[in-house]
Amino acid sequence: MIRAVKKKFKRWFAGSLNREITPDEIFLDSSNLPGFDTDQFEGRLEKPISQKVLLFLFFCFVLVILTFSSRIWFLQVEEGEAYLERSENNRLRHNLVFSNRGLIYDRTGLEIVSNTIHSGGEDFSLRHYKKIPGLSHLIGYVKYPERDSAGFYYQTDFVGKDGIEKSYGSTLLGENGLQLVETDALGNIYSQSTVKPPVDGQSLTLSIDSRVQSQLFKIIAQTAEQFGFQGGAAALMDVRSGELLALTSFPEFDSETLSLGSDVSLIDSLLSDPNKPFLNRAIAGLYAPGSIIKPFLAVG
């Protein structure tokens, strides 16, 4: 029964492909044309699809299948591990955890340089310099880590630019840590874990007494203003131990302003100041020495 149906279907299909159009199908009765419903495809000649067209479509279909199959093979087998590693790198992000720079104290234990969290949302703490006159040249200032327009840090360390911040930069500088952040396809944070904890820098205790330093600076500033001097410097030493109790220079700059670098107009005014506030006259000024015999005369 099934075989008979198959044979009959094959004969019908083959006949429909090779069927010739009869004359009555070619010459339509023009008088009957107005009565045909064109929406139902009446009055139209139907020609079966040829075997060549079907064979061409079959080969096109096979070609598309082979193309997609070969591409899937390439992505899944040939380059599967490479794309897996790339996807893992996109999913896992390494964030830098900045360490805190070491603190600075005077000889009495007063904290003259500390770290503070900035409201601007920086990834690192900012240096806070206590507002004590006469300390700027001694302490110096720093340059903060910087990043490019894409948000990646190309400078990851604090760089001391002057004074103690520069001379003892390696001691004050800590060691940054590393944090592993896992995100989803939308970039939302899924989990965080610290791979390497940061190590803060070492703190320093100076021999300088900040109160003595401040008073000495004020005396120099008043004297310079009274006699019209451009600047001045002074040092106070403990002759028994050789420790410096004060070392100051007038005029001076603001360490916090230079570290932030945001007040461009103020920095420009300091650079163009004829009194040279960046010159540390206590150690860099070239002055003729006084008479060395006078101390002996004073002792005698």
Question: CA–CA separation, 46 vs 16, rounded Å?
Answer: 11
16 is a catalytic site residue: no
CB 181 within 8 A of CB 97: no
String of b and e for 105-116 (b: at least 16 CB within 10 Å)?
bbbeeeebbbee
Distances (CA, A) of 254 to 4, 134, 262, 288: 104, 10, 13, 29
Q: Which 3 state secondary structure label does DSSP give 133? A: coil
CB-count burial class (<10 Å; 0-12, 13-18, 19+) for 267: middle
CB 100 within 8 A of CB 183: no
Distances (CA, A) of 223 to 44, 120, 231: 114, 41, 9
Question: CA–CA separation, 132 vs 106, rounded Å?
Answer: 12
Of the residues 191, 193, 262, 291, only one is catalytic, namely 291
CB neighbour list of residue 97: distance below 8 Å, 6 or more residues apart: 176, 177, 178, 179, 194, 196, 197, 198
Other CB atoms within a 10 A radius of the CB of residue 183 amount to: 15
CB 235 within 8 A of CB 217: no
Annotated catalytic residues are: 291
